[in-house]
Amino acid sequence: MALSSLLLLLLLSAAHGAAAPPALGFTRSDFPPDFVFGAATSAYQYEGAVAEDGRSPSIWDTFTHAGKMPDKSTGDIASEGYHKYKDDVKLMADTNLEAYRFSISWSRLVPNGRGAVNPKGLEYYNNLINELVKHDFPQVLEDEYGGWLSPRIVEDFTAFADVCFREFGDRVSYWTTIDEPNVGPIGSYDSGIFAPGRCSDPFGITKCTAGNSTVEPYIAVHNMILAHASATRLYREQYQAVQKGVVGINVYSFWTYPLTNSTVDLEATKRYQDFMFGWTLGPLVFGDYPQVMKTNVGSRLPSFTKSQSEFVKGAIDFIGINHYYSVYVNDRPLKEGVRDYAADMSVYQRGSRTDPATSEFGHDLSSGKASANDILDDTDRVEYLKSYIGSTLDALRNGANVKGYFVWNFLDIFEFLAGYKLGFGMYRVDFDDEARPREARLSARWYSRFLKNNGISAQSEVDDTGHHAQQ
């Protein structure tokens, strides 16, 4: 089976880019009855309350308090989700969401990284379950053995997953273990822009005090794959027969186009896909990394033993795709000497088929100076949603096994790359107000009406009062 064909097994499409020309005039009823529409957030970016009710510091607390964010912000308060989740659940109901995807903070549920469960954390999450972890784990494990750089994390992660399965599995059908393991470690261990902020010259973007950009990303992903497989095997052996759920993983996704029709650019496009998708999906489907990775990375790429290969192969029930935008690539000769992940891939990325800042957010709010009308009237995002949902319907009609579409994200949160400079959400959060009030953007009203009224065409537009007007 070609690896690219596996991308048809979508569970979620939290996408931010220009889509192919979509189906026209579709409605909610055009999708299968079991197709799920939802939206998403992430624990550290949403919850706040970092020092309340027994939560321990995470690696992101340490990272942001060291002043590593561009705007020097932290997630200490974030969107106040820990205190305002009931209000947000009501907003989700008002928006007619059919599902909500979010992550569980390891630091809040099992503060010491292993052992005792925090009852307050357990109470908070009991009705909010979908995803296990998003590159956020207790700082104590980073201090003790280096977090994802140590194979010891496999056992601790599996124990954390066991708590989640045991406590929440009676109400959860779909679990994703790790979000974007194919790019998070690059930010964490190559460029140093994500927690725990490790890198080495000349590859680091930030001033890291420790790390090895040429090796550590590969070690971290290797341990993530083993941890995912261990959690999946645990679920299948101890919980699946009764709970009837499934376990998958979410991968970050660019689609790629060759810059020219030359043979070397076509090969570069495939190589990019092998590095982007095959890095994590190859072992889970075939039991090993793509051959081009083993060739280019060499001894810096960890290897699976025969038993490990058999253990990870097939340890996946579905694949979640977080698709952002598409890029053009062309060949770059593999350079000699010290290399990191990007150099190992040996391609030039020639920009995107769309401007991600415009397509992702509708408006560039990086200065924080946009007017309220600009912030709320995200017409570009409405057009984007229509385009991508229509393209998803086209994929279904062409035989793709797509199970759902989740908008990233439900409301404004702390962003890992930008702090509070940009507004991702369908609901605006006023971060200048301590109460963190929410206000619906145009996209929230459009999405709500699309999900509520099967008779309303997706070609309909929503004006700034929330009414539909046919185009």
Give the span between the Cα atoms of 13 and 135, in whole angstroms.
19
Integer CA distances (angstroms), 166 to 19, 158, 176, 426, in order: 39, 12, 15, 33
Identify which of 216, 223, 107, 217 has the alpha carbon closest to the alpha carbon of residue 154. 223
Give the span between the Cα atoms of 441 and 379, in whole angstroms.
9
Percentages helix, strand, coil for the chain (3-state, rounded to 5) are 40, 15, 45
Torsion of CA 325, 330, 332, 334, to 10 degrees: 70
Residues 6+ apart with CB under 8 A from 97: 37, 38, 39, 410, 451
**Phi–psi pair at 373, nearest 5 degrees:** -65, -40
Beta strands 427-429 and 174-179, pairing class: unpaired
Q: Has 180 been annotated as catalytic?
A: yes
Cβ burial of 307 (10 Å; 0-12, 13-18, 19+) is exposed
Q: Which of 80, 131, 180, 415 is catalytic?
A: 180
Give the span between the Cα atoms of 225 and 291, in whole angstroms.
17
Give the span between the Cα atoms of 105 and 111, in whole angstroms.
9
Give the span between the Cα atoms of 214 and 201, in whole angstroms.
10
Integer CA distances (angstroms), 465 to 274, 372, 430, 462, in order: 47, 14, 20, 8
Cis peptide before 409 (omega within 30 of 0): yes
How many CB atoms are located within 10 Å of the residue 288 CB? 17
Integer CA distances (angstroms), 81 to 110, 120, 134, 406, 410, in order: 19, 15, 16, 19, 12
Instruction: Provide the CA 385 distance to its chain's centre, in angstroms.
Output: 18
Per the CB < 8 A criterion, the answer to whether 253 and 277 are in contact is yes
Give the span between the Cα atoms of 430 and 434, in whole angstroms.
8
Give the span between the Cα atoms of 222 and 178, in whole angstroms.
13
Cβ burial of 143 (10 Å; 0-12, 13-18, 19+) is middle
Residues labelled catalytic: 180
